[in-house]
Structure 1
């Protein structure tokens, strides 16, 4: 037990010291093996390779490449034009368009900061021009940018499924309703703020001009087709999530060629960014492989589950504690790393209390993603401040109503399991 306390203490120290997560996990695991003589050090490379030697995990670099290709193809402007045309007559329509655009674009790219940067660079200046307060313009963008990490296909869900050996297609379909719920509560928050502030309507420039409306729909149709092809193929049993990611890469590449947005220089930049991001994720997964092996060999998850289960006399109390803890973790730690490190420790406790593993996966991932825009360290907050040029304090004040709305949605997701499990019953 003393060695395990040393392991976690050293890991926390390295995290706080700014050491990259992969190196922290690898260092802690190696030191633990040296001081305990549990196994020879040859187990380190064996488990590192084993941590990434998984066919479902191959979907991660492919989805990263697909998202970067979609971003380079300039889809954000096309989606915004379509949504503005549909909701431009509503009070606070630019805010509503921001929420929906972030949800759709984020689902394609799978990156919350990239979504904030792409949508925010267009929508924040437009909202400021229409008289939106700076705090509202930046707050709604920072919060909505996280929606894409919840609405499938989501890298966080793939990581959870691979880590906890849970069906990834079922996780995808289970997260549809929670993603829509968060989108709805954000739209309601925008409408309430717009009415309170007396904001007007947006001018879409397409009212009464059927030809222009048709052109807007036609230009955005390929982007709208992508989720249908990917998710429809997965749920229809036509291909696996990994195969769907490969098809998405091909579709995105052809789309970029058709839009004439992928010059050789742009394509090289996309490939470079995708390789760097995928290598970082792969290194963390490999380091987490040996870390997870140590936890399993030392029987830490089962010891925690057996020790805490009598203290947590109800699943409801466990869900409350889990929600609060993951919200805090999510705003200071990357969602992927949090899943890899914490899920093998925390999820078995919930399973011992009789909770469904799919429901737990949804609660786990949604909580961590909400941390993207939870003050004071949410990554989306810094991205929104950078894109808008506004002080960080302005973004924090603007995002607070959306944090409150998200917490209400989180409680509903946690305590109404049919929100996540309802659609899975149909599979």
Structure 2
């Protein structure tokens, strides 16, 4: 033991407090929570340090995890091939004729980027670079323009092929295709809600250009869709192959990578192997960051299970009695966890604590998975963490608190969707 004279619970609480403080001070999560994991194995009799390597190997040997770097690579190739302007043109053709033209285009482009990259952060950064200058030129208040882009980025966590849904499915043994199917309606609902809020605000504030400059024309939609064929074709391959049962998520991502490479070289968007290496390098770096976090999060989850903390939290929530009070508690914990934790540790650490209570009130495991990921996504635009807010604030050089204030209407709309899905899940999921 670390300190034989002290009770085990005191030792673990002390180390947990130190880990939390280190995390709050900016120490990488792998190191701060890794300290707690190592201390646990030293303090608890009968636990071998060998379990760290055994768990790491057994967790990462899952074939499904291969999909994660491949999905990241799809997004990087998408960026390297400079496909974004064609997707923007297609989104504008579909949504630009509505009030709030460019704001709607931001949200539509975010949905398409999400279906290609599966990442909220990548979506926020890419759409911000592509469309923030246009929004600023068209008279959108800079804080509101930034907030719209940050809100659009949340779609990437829920709309398939979400990387977070893959991690949730692998971690908890839930069918990933089922999670993808279940994420379609909530993901599209997010798009509709965000577009509706943008239309109302832009009309009220007089932002943007006169929408008479744009009109909905089927021919224009078809022409821009053809120009955006690389990106849209990748979506068809990614989702079509999975939903049709032809490919697993990893196989579908592999075919999508091959498709983008072939079409990008044939059309001259990529000319040398150096472009591929550049895209692959970014993917490798991100995988190197993600995988250790997954392992540490799983180890922490195992330790919490040993301490029966999952049952304690679940019983405490269920003791509230009323299903509505349980729903309020679930929403509260999901949102608070989303404020403080990054997505992967939040999924692996928080979800096991809440899942027993969610299932006890009748939620389907697949539906609950999507609901949890939606709650986690809302954390991306909620201070003090608000990853998307930080990304767009750094990109546009708009003060973080200004963006956080202007994102509140979008935040309210997504919170309303979360409440509806928890209260009436059976009408919102194809499960």
The verdict on a shared fold, with TM-score over 0.5 as the criterion, is: yes
Counterpart of 1:198 (choices 197, 206, 229) is 206
Distance 1:214 1:360, change over 3 A: closer
Alignment partner for residue 233 of structure 2, among 225, 235, 241?
225
Match of 1:296 in 2: 305
Determine whether 1:59 maps to 2:67: yes
Rounded to whole Å, the distance in 1 between the matches of 2:393 and 2:171 is 34
Q: Which of residues 9, 19, 26 in structure 1 aligns to 2:27?
A: 19
| Equivalent residues of 1:130, 1:202 under 8 A apart | no
Number of residue-to-residue matches in the alignment: 421
The Cα shift of 1:393 comes to 3.1
Alignment partner of 1:235 is 2:235: no
Task: Work out whether residues 166 and 176 of structure 2, in 8 Å CA contact, stay in contact via their aligned partners in 1.
Answer: yes
- 2:318–2:357: 8 Å Cα contact kept in structure 1? no
* 1:420–1:89 Cα change, 3 Å: closer
* Partner of residue 275, structure 1: 284
Distance in 2 (alpha carbons) for counterparts of 1:413 and 1:135: 30
Distance 1:316 1:207, change over 3 A: closer
Where 2:340 maps in the other structure, the secondary structure is: coil
Unaligned runs of 5+ in 2: 1-8
Q: Distance in 2 between matches of 1:63 and 1:207?
A: 32
Partner of 1:312: 320
Map Cα deviations across residues 288-309 of structure 1 (whole Å, 9 max, x no partner).
Answer: 232222233333323433x325
Q: After the TM superposition, which residues 77-88 of structure 1 pair with which residues of structure 2 at under 5 Å, given as runs?
A: 77-88=85-96
TM-score by length of 2: 0.91
Query: Can you list the C-alpha shifts for 1:318-355, whole angstroms capped at 9, x where unaligned?
Result: 22222222223223321112101112222123223433
Is structure 2 residue 372 aligned with structure 1 residue 364?
Answer: yes
Distance 1:214 1:107 in 2: 19
Pick closer, same or farther for the CA change 1:204–1:37 going to 2, 3 Å: farther
Paired with 1:214 and 1:311, the residues of 2 have a C-alpha distance of: 56
- Displacement after TM superposition at 1:275 (Å): 0.6
Pairwise CA RMSD = 2.3
Shift of 1:99: 0.6
Q: Paired residue for 1:376?
A: 384
- Tell me, which stretches of 5 or more residues in structure 1 are unaligned? none
CA gap of 1:412–1:341, structure 2 versus 1, over 3 A, is same
What's the offset of the Cα at 1:198? 2.7
Instruction: Choose between structure 1 and 2 for higher RCO, CA contacts under 8 A separated by at least 6 residues.
Output: 1
Tell me the equivalent position of 1:171. 179
Pair 332,265 (structure 1): closer, same or farther in 2 beyond 3 Å: farther
Task: Write the deviation string for residues 222-262 of structure 1: whole angstroms up to 9, x where unpaired.
Answer: 32222222222212211211211222222222233234333
SS in 2 for 1:312: coil
Q: 1:209 to 1:356 in 2, by over 3 A?
A: closer
